[in-house]
Amino acid sequence: MTIFFLVRHAVTDHTGQRISGWLEGIELSDRGREQAKALAESLAEAEFAAVYASPIERTMDTAKAIADAQGLGVKVRRSLGEVEYGGWTNRSLKVLSRTKLWQQVQSFPSGARFPDGESLYEVQTRAVAELENLRRDHPKDKVCVVTHGDVIRLVTAHYLGVHIDLFQRIMVAPASVTVIAVGDSGPRVLTVNSKTGWGDES
């Protein structure tokens, strides 16, 4: 059985304000660096076989803090990357919340596609496929995967057997940990949105 520790990256100055997507140069804020350090300390005894991450600065910085604490490197996997938000990238959440597509993403996400970007179904498919690849590589290990909020929600929905149209009901805050064990007999969702004592910044 593989035990995945799915970690959402720590906060940036964009968190809760704008859609960062794959935009370059968005690093952790001072608060985010504090969160990453606290995460590394809280997970220090997990004894991960490997730490994997999305290839984006905020996830890489969070993953490096965790990996350094365990004497590991960070292995990059593009398929664990953020949703390709296309034309939504770097736009204000306040502005986007007034669009028709925003309402569709909330009520019928399985039918939504971001302008010049991905559908959420495509994101779920690539992320779950990557975790299944990692499960074959680490059949009896604890593995840390540092990625993004929507990616973790979509993966968690898959392993819970929850339809993608309900994935928004799953809360995944910045710097939180969701733990899912997957073996040949099926998955077990052990923990969702666990934190180590800091505020509830979503």
Residue 50 domain-assigned (yes or no): yes
pLDDT digits (tens, 9 = 90+) for 77-99: 999 999 999 999 999 999 999 99
The contacts found for 113-116 with CB under 8 angstroms, 24 or more apart, are 114/83, 114/84, 114/85, 114/86, 114/87, 114/88, 115/86, 115/87, 115/88, 116/86, 116/87
- 181, 2 Cβ separation under 8 angstroms: yes
Exposure on the CB side of residue 43, measured as CA atoms within 13 A: 36
pLDDT at 201 > cutoff 80? no
> Which residues, including other chains, have CB under 8 Å from residue 157's CB and lie 6 or more apart?
124, 163, 164, 166, 167, 170
> Which residues, including other chains, have CB under 8 Å from residue 185's CB and lie 6 or more apart?
none
pLDDT digits (tens, 9 = 90+) for 2-55: 999 999 999 999 999 999 999 999 999 999 999 999 999 999 989 999 999 999
Residue 41 domain-assigned (yes or no): yes
Residue 52 domain-assigned (yes or no): yes
Closest to 17 in 3D by CA, of 90, 85, 102, 87: 90
pLDDT at 197 > cutoff 50? no
Q: Which domain holds residue 54?
A: 2-194
Counted domains in the chain:
1
pLDDT at 71 > cutoff 70? yes
Q: Is 0.75 surpassed by the pTM of this model? A: yes
Tell me the CATH number at 85.
3.40.50.1240
Residue 162 domain-assigned (yes or no): yes
pLDDT digits (tens, 9 = 90+) for 132-191: 999 999 999 999 999 999 999 999 999 999 999 999 999 999 999 999 999 999 999 999
Residue 147 domain-assigned (yes or no): yes
Angle between helices 57-69 and 30-42 (to 10 degrees): 40
